[in-house]
């Protein structure tokens, strides 16, 4: 069992949830490189799950990395001080439950392993910090320009979550977007892609497909503002969001829909991630 002291410099991991879509891993790598340049330290792109099953040939012949094997490889090399920068808007169960459990499991052969997790991108205790909303509003303006839209309705859509704390992040960002856009938008509404069927998960409503059948969103110009960081099954080109929107247009001939780009490629995101990294350096490690 290794007993060497922790490495003097922490290893920084930019961690997303993971996806089966190659574009998601490629986007994560590009963002990690940008953060590396901004923070002036190496940043390693790693997913929690899923991405390791992608054919490496679709990733420049470089396999995607996932968390547990990465932690084990780092510990085996004597690198015990890890800082995780989560590429998450809010505290999903993947961060609050799965990640700590896997860190504790990985630490069993290496008791010196020290993993700190930086804050998520949005902090609902600081409602005046509207930087993520500002990036999304910027994407909305870009989409309106591309589509020559005048005063569109805005559907702020996220994945959906079984956790009210994650839903509260979407609600806050949608409220901030509404304030930032002002009279530019005729209405702004949050919605989800998915939900569990039980009534206790009604806070995810409306789903995007339902919202696009309601007055104000079933006719005229509508922008679907993707509250997603990387392209994947939902938010990528030809993904579920676009399929739902195209089906809505078939039902409503007077409906015109534009889509924002995902936020991971927005140049303004790196400054927020760098701040989160600096905060993570001063956070207590997972016990």
10: its two tokens? 């922490």
Please say whether the beta carbons of 19 and 51 come within 8 A. yes
**Cross-strand bridge partners of residue 155:** 189, 224
Question: Which residues, at least 6 apart from 257, have a Cβ–Cβ distance to it below 8 Å?
Answer: 212, 222, 223, 224, 245, 248, 249
- Position of tokens 């989160």? 276
Of 30, 33, 23, 87, whose CA–CA distance to 59 is shortest?
A: 23
DSSP state for residue 167 in the 8-state scheme: H
Residue 85 confidence (pLDDT): 98
Dihedral of CA atoms 170, 176, 182, 184 in degrees, nearest 10, equals -50
* pLDDT confidence of residue 259: 98
Answer yes or no: are the C-beta atoms of 232 and 19 closer than 8 Å. yes
What's the pTM value of the predicted model, to 2 decimals? 0.94
pLDDT by residue for the chain (287 residues), tens only, comes to: 444 444 468 999 999 999 999 999 999 999 999 999 999 999 999 999 999 999 999 999 999 999 999 999 999 999 999 999 999 999 999 999 999 999 999 998 999 999 999 999 999 999 999 999 999 999 999 999 999 999 999 999 999 999 999 999 999 999 999 999 999 999 999 999 999 999 999 999 999 999 999 999 999 999 999 999 999 899 999 999 999 999 999 999 999 999 999 999 999 999 999 999 999 999 999 99
Alpha helices in 40-95 (DSSP H): 67-76, 93
The string of pLDDT tens digits covering residues 196-218 is 999 999 999 999 999 999 999 99
Residue 6, pLDDT score: 46
Predicted confidence at residue 9, as pLDDT, reads 86
């Amino acid at each position: 069992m290794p007993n060497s002291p922790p490495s003097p410099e922490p290893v920084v991991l930019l961690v997303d949830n993971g996806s089966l879509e190659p574009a998601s891993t490629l986007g994560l790598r590009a963002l990690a490189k940008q953060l590396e340049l901004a923070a002036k330290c190496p940043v390693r792109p790693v997913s929690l799950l899923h991405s390791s099953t992608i054919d490496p040939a679709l990733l420049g012949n470089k396999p995607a990395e996932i968390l547990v094997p990465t932690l084990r490889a780092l510990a085996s090399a004597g690198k015990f001080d890890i800082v995780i920068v989560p590429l998450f808007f809010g505290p999903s169960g993947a961060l609050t439950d799965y990640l700590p459990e896997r860190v504790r499991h990985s630490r069993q052969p290496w008791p010196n392993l020290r993993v700190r997790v930086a804050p998520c991108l949005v902090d609902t205790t600081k409602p005046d910090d509207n930087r993520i909303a500002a990036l999304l509003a910027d994407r909305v303006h870009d989409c309106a320009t591309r589509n020559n839209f005048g005063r569109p309705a805005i559907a702020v859509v996220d994945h959906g979550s079984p956790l009210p704390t994650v839903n509260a992040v979407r609600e806050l960002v949608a409220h901030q977007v509404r304030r930032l856009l002002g009279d530019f938008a005729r209405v702004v509404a949050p919605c989800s892609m998915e939900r569990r069927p039980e009534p206790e998960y009604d806070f995810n409503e409306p789903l995007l497909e339902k919202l696009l059948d309601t007055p104000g969103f079933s006719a005229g110009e509508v922008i679907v503002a993707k509250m997603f960081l990387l392209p994947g099954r939902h938010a990528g080109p030809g993904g579920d969001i676009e399929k739902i929107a195209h089906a809505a247009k078939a039902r409503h001939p007077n409906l015109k829909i534009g889509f924002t780009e995902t936020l991971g490629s927005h140049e303004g995101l790196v400054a927020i991630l760098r701040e989160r990294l600096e905060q993570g350096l001063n956070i207590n490690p997972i016990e």
